[in-house]
Chain A
């Protein structure tokens, strides 16, 4: 009498979970993986729109060799890094500061919170349009009020390389500070109040409480916010495309906008793909470094 119960070969319900994740996998494959693979593939060919892909000549690593020596690529990369540095530094500082200010349930805090996140709800294309007109040299409100209130002469905001760079940095801060704010305030409100109280009893003042207790405890949230903004910097192009088109010169041309211009203005699809591969490599590299330095998935928040 062998009473060892046998595992059934096939359980009818075993397929069910796969059926549920199937749509997500199909969308991921078609919408995400396929374009990325195609970008890699295209970067080895010299292809123009209108010509059959099969007829495109294979150019091996020519595009990559050209890219390394291309001063334009280095220039837009430098613009992107400067843009990322200023926007992310200021957005993180401002967002965290605002979150710390509005964390306490003071009167009207909920109204302020709602107002602060409004820019986040505006589509980037519309943001570009709004600020293009606000910064407009002749009819823009900014020049008008600078003149009325401070007596400052009208500036050609979007026509001067440095002013244009300032304008896109300013616009990005206007739109994305709320994003940091909303993530950080959610993190602060989820902090266990007893830990904060314990630090009060331990004698921490307001400043020490923020820098030695609160911010370290929401570190993983800060890292995720930073990561998402960094990826956005390498990805975003709508606002620049509409406000300045990357100009004057290449002073506001971010890497992704440069790829767009190469691909669709100058029809260099293969070369644009090669630069895309560089972009993927950079984003992947930065993400890996940040995640190894501070892995938000690793630090369980059991307190």
Chain B
């Protein structure tokens, strides 16, 4: 049993139960991202893996070893913090080598490892500088260098890119993915940003109120969300949820909302019939609206556009379909003006149905 395993892990502060019962298996070498809104317990879970928080119940295994009650330094982990957490009184080289020096590693070994990490992260010219003389991106790199130098079994990242500006964040995402390829180590990454999760993860763990909602590849969680929470959390702009009813017309199943009607795709027919549900929650992703019918699955919809936002390759519409408010992202050509009311098309093969009571996908 290698990798990182959480077995019936729970955590409470006094009477407040943050994480009721968490089970998760992370494979060796896997890049797993915990994602969820603030307060969902993702950071707490990471800190329990790190050993910075004690578990209330359950067990944690790293590389097949029960580390539940081990101190952080005995867990063979390295961690990168949101605030970088560099030692302000040490220069870059000393920051990176601190753990090795504490462990009494051979001087020449330390030097070569620091050099390797510095080369990999393009930090070599800055080794003598103090953290305060570095930019945010460079500090972030030092924080990563500090964990690389450790050559730990498992790398933990606690929202490491949140303090960077948007452009730098995008390039650091690529670097992190590259780093994962090079080091081939188990990495666990916490973020509230679903784009970070989608772009970097092998598998995404979506959490809410301390409970894992879904574990799956980015493709899985986007295309087959298990409930309305996952469906609205993953994807940008968010999926619109509309109350609707199922009804049969001339032998064809249709989903009918207030003032509109869409045919049900083959994919959902069986589930819809099997569940016997009449009232459903209909999920429409903005990006599945279009200005023209591309396939026969595209059904016409009449949208009343309240606001159109020009994004570039597409426009975001805050619109009304019958009595429901929704967001549509419509691809446009270079000549298009701001879109207005009219007939648009929706790809019905990609619509979602959920149980309105439980929120679970049909």
Chain A: residues with CB nearer than 8 A to chain B? 192, 194-195, 197-204, 208, 212-213, 216-217, 219, 299-303
Contacts and interface: CB of A to CB of B under 8 A. Distances in A.
Contacts of A302: 88, 132
A92 to B, nearest CB: 19
B85 interface: yes
Given A200-B72, A201-B73, A195 B102 contact: no
B81 interface: yes
A199 B89 contact: no
Contacts, number: 70
Given A203-B102, A217-B89, A300-B132, A198 B81 contact: yes
A199 B98 contact: yes
B99 interface: yes
Interface in B63-87: 71-73, 77-79, 81-87
Interface string B102-136: 11000000000000000000000000000110000
Q: DSSP class of A's interface residues: helix, strand, loop or mixed?
A: helix
Given A201-B77, A201-B79, A303 B88 contact: yes
A199 B50 CA distance: 12
Given A194-B83, A302-B132, A303-B83, A203 B89 contact: no
A198 to B, nearest CB: 4
Given A217-B89, A219-B89, A302-B132, A202 B81 contact: no
- Size class of the B contact interface (CB-based, 8 Å): 20 to 34
B79 A198 contact: yes
B87 A194 contact: no
Given A201-B52, A301-B88, 5 more contacts: A199-B87, A203-B72, A204-B98, A216-B89, A217-B88
Contacts of A197: 52, 79, 81, 85
Given A194-B85, A195-B85, A198-B85, A204 B72 contact: no
B353 to A, nearest CB: 44
Interface of B: 50-52, 71-73, 77-79, 81-89, 98-99, 102-103, 131-132, 146, 150
Nearest to A300: B132
B85 A204 contact: no
Contacts of A208: 102
Contacts of A194: 81-83, 85
Contacts of B83: 192, 194-195, 303
B88 A202 contact: no
A200 B52 contact: yes
A204 B77 CA distance: 14
Contacts of B89: 216-217, 219
Contacts of A200: 52, 71-73
A303 B79 CA distance: 17
B165 to A, nearest CB: 17
Contacts of B52: 197, 200-201
A195 B132 contact: no
Nearest to B77: A201
A303 B136 CA distance: 11
Nearest to A198: B85
A140 to B, nearest CB: 47
Contacts of B82: 194
Contact of B131 (A199, A204, A219, A303): A303
Contacts of B98: 199, 202, 204, 212
B101 to A, nearest CB: 9
Contacts of A202: 73, 98-99, 102, 146, 150
B322 to A, nearest CB: 50
A203 B228 CA distance: 43
Contacts of A213: 87
A243 B265 CA distance: 96
Contacts of A216: 87, 89
A202 B50 CA distance: 11
State the 4 A-B residue pairs at the shortest beta-carbon distance, nearest first. A203-B73, A202-B99, A194-B85, A198-B85
A195 B85 CA distance: 4
A293 to B, nearest CB: 15
19 contacts: A192-B83, A194-B83, A195-B83, A198-B85, A198-B86, A199-B98, A200-B52, A201-B73, A201-B99, A202-B99, A203-B73, A204-B98, A219-B89, A300-B132, A303-B83, A303-B84, A303-B85, A303-B86, A303-B131
Nearest to A204: B102
Contacts of A195: 83, 85-88
A192 B163 CA distance: 15
Contacts of B71: 200
A201 B131 contact: no
A300 B132 CA distance: 8
A192 B72 CA distance: 18
A202 B87 CA distance: 11
A164 to B, nearest CB: 42
Nearest to B156: A201
A203 B87 contact: no
Nearest to A197: B52
A222 to B, nearest CB: 12
B148 to A, nearest CB: 13
Nearest to B97: A202
A208 B99 CA distance: 11
